[in-house]
Structures are given as C-alpha cells and as structure tokens.
Chains A and B, each alone.
Chain A
C-alpha cells in the first residue's frame, strides 16, 4: 500500500498572501485606516480648529452638507473634524492601556508560570480577586475616586485589565517551562532570570499578542463608556463617548451629532475584533 500523494504547494508571494486569514487582512486594513485618520487628523480634518475649543454659534446644528459632511454640533463645530480628532484620543487610550497592562501582566505571568509553587499561588489568587470585578465596574469605582481625565481612564482600565494577561501568560509559560530546551538550559547552568528572559518569555508571547489585538476593542468600548458617564475626557477634548453624551438629548431632532461618533466607536472596536479573530484563527490552525 502506498501513501496517498500529498498536494504540493509552491510558496509564491501570492499564495503566501492567500494563506493568511482574509479576516486578519481585512481587520488590519480597517484598523490602518483608523490609525492614519488619527495620525493625519490635523492635516485631513476640514476644520482642524474645531477639534478643540473653537465655537461658531451661528453655524450650530447644521445638518450634513457639502461643507460639513457630518453636520455641526451644538456650538457649531464640524462633527467630521471632531470625529477624526477623537480617533487620536481613543487610540492613545487603547495603546497606553494595552502597553501598561500587557507588560505588567506578562512579567507577573511569566514569573508565576516559571517559578510555580507559592509564587504562582500568590500571584494567581491576586489575579482572581481582580478578575472578580467586571472591568467597567472597578474602573467606574476608580474613576469616581480620581479626577475625571484621559489619564484617569487609562489608569482605571489598566488596573482591571492586567490580570487577564498574567493568567494567560502563566498558563502558557508553565507548559513552556517543562519543555526539553528549558531543561537543557537549566542543566547547562544558565541562571534562572536568563532562562526566563531568553527562552520562556519569547516562546510564551504569541497567544498574548493575539489576545492584545482582540482586547483593543474592549478597551475602546470601556473608555468610551467611562467618558459617556462623564468620568473620562472632558471639554474641549474630542472624545467619541463624550460627544455621544453631549448630543444625546438632541438625537430625535439632530441625529448626526450622536450617530457619527457612535459609528466611529463601532468601526474602531470592530476592526480590532476582526484583526484579533483572524490572528486567532491563523494561530489555532
């Protein structure tokens, strides 16, 4: 009996691109557009001064038109310009939260996973306690305590977000720690900190990176919710959640003031989720 012939694939660049999950590509492209909008906001916004505290009382609440694609808000600012500037606030919060909580979580997780024993028990019990608070709830309590600002939002969300990465890294690192190459490094007398840094850490990172891209959407939504409740960014900062809150009483008469910032939150969170989902599908294959 002969083995069935395996199909032969040649690795042309086109094939390699097709092999990448199409969802991941779509998510990356969508997110790329949002990032570009954030970076280029001062140059592509039709009325850059409207991203701040400018007011034009005579042009208040104009419906969408050629001059103002997304209409104008209560004080006559161009909604499109504010939505573009709002991308800066949201992405800044997302990057800061993911960086801070990612680094903190990975460090604690890799220590817990490699060391095991009582260190693992202590770290995991502390993460259990933090995980018992839904992110929005603990951020809410913290945001009440601290003064409302963008920094407050970043701190409050990061405090609730790190345990997920600690737990994920710990479970991956503890299985990496039992692999042969870690054993051989230990036998060769490599000091423990170096083993963690050179061997365990790099081999535990992939699932965390996927989780980070999946969580970008969650951070954006939580930050927008805190600002909507008045616990985050305040005037004259352009922030999507804040724009929804300020315009909510006008929804029936002037729909554009609330609709476009909400859509911006939706599109940004969606692009993070599509990218993360695509990466996860690729990883689990």
Chain B
C-alpha cells in the first residue's frame, strides 16, 4: 500500500503542477493589460508603471511563472481586479455556497438515481427498464441553463411555490442573525438551530439543486443498472438463485454492494463537472457561489480571479480523483497492482 500511495500522490502533484502552468499560460493570453484594468482608464503613465511594477509584469515570463508559483504556495492568489480583495478570500466566501448547492444536488441524484437503476436492472428489457433508460438519457441531454430558466419561470415566477432567486431571505439577517462556522449556510443554520434561515435556505435550494441533479442522476441510474446487471450474472448470483433467493433479493441483498463501488467513484468525478455546470445555474438563480463570481470576473476581464476559480476547480477535481483511487485501493487490493 505505501508504494501505491506514494506513486499515486506523485502523479497528483505532477498534474497539479501542470494545471498551474496551463492556468498561467491561459492567463497571460488574456487580452487587455491587467495594469490598465487595475489602475483605471484615467491613470497617468507613472501610475501605470507603478501598477506594472507591482504586478511584476516587467519581468521575463519564466520569472513571472516562478513568482506566481511561489505566491500560490505562500497562500497569495493575487488580488481581484473587480472586488479589489485577495482572490483567496473571495473564493473562500463563494465556494461554500457552491458546495452547498452541488452537495444538495448530488444527494438528490443518489437518492433518485440508485433506486431507478435497481428498478431498471430488476425489470431488464421490459417497460420500467426502457423508461428509466430513456429518461436518464433525457436527463443528461437537457441544457442546464434552459432547464433552470424553465423551472424558475413555471414554479417560482408563475406558481409561486418557490422563491425566484438568492440563497435565503436577506431580511432574516436582522430578525435571526446567523453565526458562521463552516460558511455553508444550511449547515450553520442547522447546527445553531436557526430554523427561519434553515427553512428559507432549503426552499431556495430546491429548484437550482434539482436542475444540477439532472445530469448526475441520469449517469448514476445508468451506471447502477449496468453494474447490477453485470454483478447479477456472476457465479455468486447463480448460487444465490439456486439457494432459492428471488431476483429482487439477489439484486438488493448481494449484488448491490459490489455494484455501488463504481457508482461512488463516478460521483467523485461528476462532482467537479457539477460545480462547473452549477455556474450556469447560479447565474440564473443569482446564487452567491463560484459561478456568479466567475461570471462577474469574466465580464470585467479579471485575470487573477478567473485564474483563481480555474485553479480551484481543477485542484478539486484532482483531489476527488485521488480520494477515489485511494479508497478503491483500500477496498479492492487488485487496484494497487495496476
């Protein structure tokens, strides 16, 4: 195990290094002079030179890359041009909201996707199977921004069942202020027993979380179905049938646990994808997460902020991948040999 751990960690470090270099390269390609963007259109030549010197834009590229890496490791992710705050602080503020939204979406996806996958595998080739397969393919084919607009129009603006936008009713900040521990509103409200904010957050969460859940739910249902069908054609399933277990029991009591292994590793991979898919949904529902921050940064060509968001999501993806591989290495020793 230690050798596998070291090799896998080494690979992850290498990928993160590559991600940093690639982000730096993309950042340098952004049109417009960051010094002009920071100093403003009315800046004098001296102010511009000062800004250039401050951002180190006069140095050769390799030196800039080296400084960039050094600053990143030292915790300095640059200063956002549009909020004028350290990018790291901005990300720390925006990320928990995204995590809350995507977390809720993934829970919905698992709760809906796994039973649907079981039902499809149980009635393979029959009507329930076909309808699960078709609806899961519909779920992965729907454009999220359009679904977000449609649900918002029908269920929020139209029927008024859910709030139109935001994370919770802002007026509650005065009547029942929230103490922050994790910065994830729903979690903080739960552990401090702040029911007004908790219920408000949950009702604001429903629509955007449902939209983001569509894709992972479809993939989870397909994966559960495929893994169950494969697992229930193995020898142990034949033995269980010979012992008199019914088909449903074979699937849920014996085949489900090994079949969930690939499903869980899938969830980790879908996590980063859902964060980015969430960008579009956050924009529609005005959710104060990474997506809204990224959209504002793109609009103002805020290079350090764009680089920060890109880097954060890419690193999250690497970590999620690593966690899955290590977990599988623990569960299934054969993985380590690969």
Give complex CA distance A127, B61 in Å. 24
Residues on A with beta carbons closer than 8 Å to the beta carbon of B149: 244, 248, 251, 258, 262
Contact of A129 among B22, B134, B144, B152 (CB under 8 A): B22
Q: Do A221 and B141 touch across chains, with their CB atoms under 8 A apart?
A: yes
Contact with A along B268-281 (1 / 0, CB 8 A): 00001101110110
* B202 sits at the interface (CB 8 A): no
Given contacts A137-B313, A259-B150, are A128 and B18 in contact (CB under 8 A)?
yes
Name the distance in Å between B239's Cβ and chain A's nearest Cβ: 21
Q: Which of A134, A217, A255 contacts B140 (CB 8 A)?
A: A217
- Which of A76-84, A102-110, A263-271 is the interface stretch? A263-271
CB pair A125 B18 closer than 8 Å: yes
Task: Give chain B residues whose Cβ lies under 8 Å from the Cβ of A128.
Answer: 11, 14-15, 18
Binds B, one of A2-10, A92-100, A140-148: A140-148
Min CB–CB distance B230 → chain A (angstroms): 10
* CB pair B31 A129 closer than 8 Å: no
Chain A interface residue bracket vs B: 35 or more
Instruction: Give the Cβ gap from B134 to chain A, nearest Cβ, in Å.
Output: 8
User: Does A18 have its Cβ within 8 Å of any Cβ on chain B?
Assistant: no
What is the number of contacts between chain A and chain B, taking CB atoms within 8 Å? 129
Instruction: Say whether B272 contacts A255, CB under 8 Å.
Output: no
Say if the beta carbon of A123 comes within 8 Å of chain B: no
Contact status A125-B14, CB under 8 Å: yes
A133 contacts the other chain (Cβ, under 8 Å)? Answer: yes
Tell me, in angstroms, the Cα distance from A272 to B23 when the chains sit together.
Answer: 32
Does chain B have a CB within 8 A of A277? Answer: yes
Interface size on B, residues (CB 8 A): 51
CB contacts (< 8 Å) of A126 on chain B: these are 18
Min C-beta distance of A178 to chain B, whole Å: 16
In the assembled complex, which residues on chain B have CB atoms less than 8 Å from the CB atom of A274? 134, 137
Q: Which of A122-160 contact B (CB under 8 A)?
A: 125-126, 128-130, 132-134, 136-138, 140-142, 144-145
Q: Does B157 contact A (CB under 8 A)?
A: yes
- Chain A CB count within 10 A is highest, among B145, B146, B158, for B146
Q: How far is the CB of A137 from chain B (nearest CB, A)?
A: 5
**In the complex, chain B residues 275-293 whose Cβ is within 8 Å of any chain A Cβ:** 275-277, 279-280, 284
**Whole-angstrom CA separation of A251 from B145 in the bound complex:** 13
Which residues of B lie under 8 Å from residue A133 when comparing CB positions?
19, 22, 310, 313-314, 317
Residues A225 and B19 in contact in the complex (CB < 8 Å), given A132-B317, A134-B272: no
With a cutoff of 8 Å between Cβ atoms, the chain A residues found around residue B11 in the complex are: 125, 128
B119 at the interface (CB under 8 A from A): no
| A270 in contact with B310 given A140-B294, A251-B153 (CB within 8 Å) | no
Q: Nearest Cβ in chain B — how far from A81, in angstroms? A: 20
A241 within 8 A of B: yes
**Is A87 part of the binding interface, using a Cβ–Cβ cutoff of 8 Å?**
no
Tell me if A244 and B146 are in contact (CB < 8 A). Answer: yes
- Report if A165 contacts B (CB, 8 A): no
Task: Tell me whether B26 and A145 are in contact (CB under 8 A).
Answer: yes
Given the complex of chains A and B, what is the CA–CA distance between A33 and B153 in angstroms? 30
The answer, yes or no, to whether A228 is at the interface (CB within 8 Å) is yes
Residues of B within 8 A of A (CB): 11, 14-16, 18-19, 22-23, 26, 29-31, 133-134, 137-138, 140-147, 149-150, 152-153, 157-158, 272-273, 275-277, 279-280, 284, 294-295, 298, 301, 306, 309-310, 313-315, 317-318, 321
Show 30 residue pairs from A and B whose CB-CB distance is below 8 angstroms, ordered by the A residue.
A125-B15, A128-B15, A129-B18, A132-B317, A133-B19, A133-B22, A134-B273, A136-B276, A137-B310, A141-B23, A141-B26, A145-B26, A221-B143, A224-B145, A228-B145, A229-B298, A241-B145, A248-B149, A258-B149, A262-B146, A262-B147, A262-B150, A266-B138, A266-B146, A270-B137, A273-B137, A273-B140, A273-B141, A274-B134, A277-B137
4 nearest A-B residue pairs (beta carbon)? A129-B18, A262-B146, A269-B141, A270-B141
